[in-house]
């Protein structure tokens, strides 16, 4: 379906995810000039433009993945069943040394293809070669925060990762309307960035008014080592150099102290909960109840395909919800509606975009997905009981249920057929480059 200016979705079951959890069993959405003009009950008088019949489909805001590493898709299943630092130091970082701007592009294209197929319309990505990632974003049409990764000792792309990041931010800031790219700074972590590097990042982000996306307190070892080296926790060390004077989105945050939580609360920093990669690397389980009790915004992320190994946010949402219930021995903790908010409106809040995306409301950008309710896993659909629909999405559905994807009102996937990207080319090329690189570099 082409973006012809006005599109009307009719006869869908709509979960708006707005502040009052409005639900329409026979709903309609009118899209005009990239934004939602009307959302509510079906009204034949309001039907106009290109009509999209959503009968037997559940309509949701596009999913928001707040932590990923797109360039790592070629390393999927290369090294599994390891602890984080062993995995990073002995497998991932050696593999990353051989990445080029060409392989980074095809890896990002593969990642964005998977995002699209799983209904992820917005993502926060941390990787090197930001221009390669940008090329994939421009082709896919997805909304992406490109957080150029910063290391004090350099990356496979450059010894001056801060300079690369600053140049990328300068080139793309203020151009999101035309590109759907939101440039940001991605200092990797307290153990890979010096305090001086982090101080420079803080100053640049403040100058450019952009997001800082980083890893914080992913493992108990990181927390212990930072305390021994600096006499502070990672959060406290980052506050000390001004990081938290900016808009901060931090991945993992499993071992935050009460003082760390206070830093997050006072600065209104957000957390990306990454349940699957945390479990797979045996890093720990985020104390979600503690975060919510501290009024910290918690969203959800997949992490990278090298540590997940898939990018199915709905599947991760189910896993993340269930482990929290089990950890607290409380089945009532994190009901399905609240869990789904983590992947929609709370994800938007984490990125500072809650006025633009994350819920289906008039005036917001038309980032929309549909789920096929005729699939066996979605039956019965008890449309007279909205609470059951949230449960269907969180506990029953997966990315394979996603049928249609719109970003800014542009249909990027219709009936599971990608309309912008060449699935066969991306898949074939990624397969060839990954195999060649592994063989050539003895990985």
Per the DSSP assignment, residues forming a β-bridge with 301 are none
Mean pLDDT across the chain, nearest whole number? 95
Asked whether the beta carbons of 246 and 205 are under 8 A apart, the reply is yes
Q: CA angle, 72 as apex, 67 and 76 as ends, to 5°?
A: 110
The ranges assigned to domains in the chain are 6-61+360-418, 63-350
Position 149 scores a pLDDT of 97
Q: What percent of the chain has pLDDT over 70?
A: 98
Is residue 51 predicted with pLDDT exceeding 70? yes
Q: Please tell me what DSSP assigns to residue 365.
A: B
118-129 CB burial, b ≥16 within 10 A, e <16: bbbbbbbbbbbb
pLDDT tens column, 138-172: 999 999 999 999 999 999 899 999 999 999 999 99
Banded model confidence at residue 96, pLDDT cuts 50, 70, 90: confident
Percent of the chain with pLDDT over 90: 90
CATH node for 6-61+360-418 = 2.30.40.10
DSSP string, 174-237: T-HHHH-EEEEEEE--TTTS-HHHHHHHHHHHHHHT--EEEEES-SHHHHHHHHHHHSS-HHHH
3-state helix, strand, coil in the chain (%, to 5): 40, 25, 35
Q: What is the DSSP string of 22-73?
A: -EEEEEEEEEETTEEEEEEE--GGG--SEEEE-TTEEEEEPEEEEEE-GGGG
pLDDT at 443: 66
Q: Is pLDDT of 413 > 90?
A: yes
DSSP secondary structure of 133-153: HHHHHHHH--EEEEEEEE-TT
What's the predicted TM-score (pTM) here?
Answer: 0.97
Closest CA to 72 of 99, 49, 50, 42: 99
Supply the pLDDT for residue 1. 35
Averaged pLDDT for residues 89-116: 92
- If you ran DSSP here, which 8-state letter would residue 5 be given? S
Residue 227 near residue 259 (C-beta atoms within 8 A): no
Spell out the alpha helix ranges (H) of 256-366: 258-267, 275-280, 288-293, 313-328, 336-342, 345-350
**Which one, of 75, 70, 248, lies nearest residue 142 by Cα?**
70
pLDDT at 439 over 80: no
Q: Can you tell me the distance from the alpha carbon of 213 to that of 184, in angstroms, rounded to the nearest whole number? A: 7
CA distance 244 to 86: 29
Mean pLDDT, range 208-225, rounded to an integer: 97
Query: Does residue 215 have a pLDDT over 60?
Result: yes
Strand order in the sheet with 248-252: 63-68, 120-127, 143-150, 181-187, 212-216, 248-252, 270-273, 297-300
Q: For residue 91, what pLDDT band results from cuts at 50, 70 and 90? A: confident
CATH superfamily for 63-350 is Metal-dependent hydrolases (3.20.20.140)
| Sign of the torsion formed by the C-alpha atoms of 250, 243, 173 and 157 | negative
Residue predicted with more confidence, 441 or 323? 323
Distance, CA of 326 to CA of 65 (rounded, Å): 24
Residues 331-371: tens digit of each pLDDT: 999 999 999 999 999 999 999 999 999 999 999 999 999 99
Distance CA(334)–CA(341), nearest Å, equals 10
Phi, psi of 231 (to 5 degrees): 75, 15
Average pLDDT over residues 277-290: 97
Question: In this predicted structure, what is the pLDDT of residue 3?
Answer: 43
- For residue 85, the model assigns a pLDDT of 87
Task: Render pLDDT for 58-67 as a digit per residue (tens, 0 to 9).
Answer: 999 999 999 9
Average pLDDT over residues 262-278: 98
Q: What is the pLDDT of residue 250?
A: 98
């Amino acid at each position: 379906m082409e973006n012809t200016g006005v599109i009307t979705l009719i006869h869908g079951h709509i979960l708006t995810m707005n502040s009052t959890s409005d639900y329409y069993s026979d709903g309609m959405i009118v899209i005009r000039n990239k934004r939602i003009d009307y959302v509510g009950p079906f009204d034949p008088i309001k039907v106009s433009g290109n009509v999209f019949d959503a009968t037997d489909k559940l309509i949701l805001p596009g999913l928001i993945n707040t932590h990923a590493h797109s360039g790592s898709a070629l390393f999927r299943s290369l090294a599994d069943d390891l602890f984080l630092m062993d995995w990073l130091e002995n497998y991932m970082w050696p593999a990353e040394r051989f990445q080029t701007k060409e392989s980074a592009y095809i890896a990002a294209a593969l990642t964005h293809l998977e995002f699209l197929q799983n209904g992820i319309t917005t993502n926060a990505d941390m990787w090197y070669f930001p221009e390669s990632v940008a090329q994939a974003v421009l082709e896919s049409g997805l909304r992406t925060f490109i957080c150029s990764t910063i290391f004090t000792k350099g990356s496979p792309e450059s010894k001056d990762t801060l300079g690369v990041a600053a140049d990328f931010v300068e080139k793309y800031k203020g151009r999101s309307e035309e590109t759907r790219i939101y440039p940001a700074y991605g200092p990797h972590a307290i153990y890979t960035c010096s305090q001086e590097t982090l101080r420079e990042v803080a100053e640049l982000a403040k100058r450019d008014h952009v997001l800082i996306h980083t890893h914080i307190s992913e493992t108990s070892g990181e927390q212990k080592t930072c305390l021994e080296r600096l006499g502070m926790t990672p959060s406290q060390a980052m506050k000390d150099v001004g990081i938290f004077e900016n808009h901060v989105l931090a991945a993992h945050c499993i071992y935050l102290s009460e003082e760390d939580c206070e830093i997050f609360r006072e600065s209104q920093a957000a957390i990306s909960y990454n349940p699957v990669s945390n479990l797979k690397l045996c890093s720990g389980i985020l104390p979600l109840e503690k975060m919510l009790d501290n009024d910290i915004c918690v969203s959800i992320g997949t992490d990278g395909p090298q540590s997940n190994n898939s990018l199915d946010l709905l599947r991760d949402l189910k896993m993340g919800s269930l482990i929290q219930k089990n950890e607290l021995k409380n089945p009532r903790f994190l009901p399905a509606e609240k869990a789904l908010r983590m992947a929609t409106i709370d994800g938007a809040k984490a990125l500072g975009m809650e006025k633009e995306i994350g819920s289906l409301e008039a005036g917001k950008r038309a980032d929309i997905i549909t789920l096929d309710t005729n699939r066996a896993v979605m039956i019965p659909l008890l449309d007279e009981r909205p609470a059951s629909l949230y449960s269907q999405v969180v506990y029953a559905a997966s990315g394979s249920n996603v049928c249609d994807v719109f970003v800014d009102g542009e249909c990027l996937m219709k009936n599971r057929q990608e309309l912008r990207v060449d699935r066969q080319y991306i898949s074939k090329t990624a397969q060839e480059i990954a195999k060649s690189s592994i063989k050539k570099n003895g990985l």
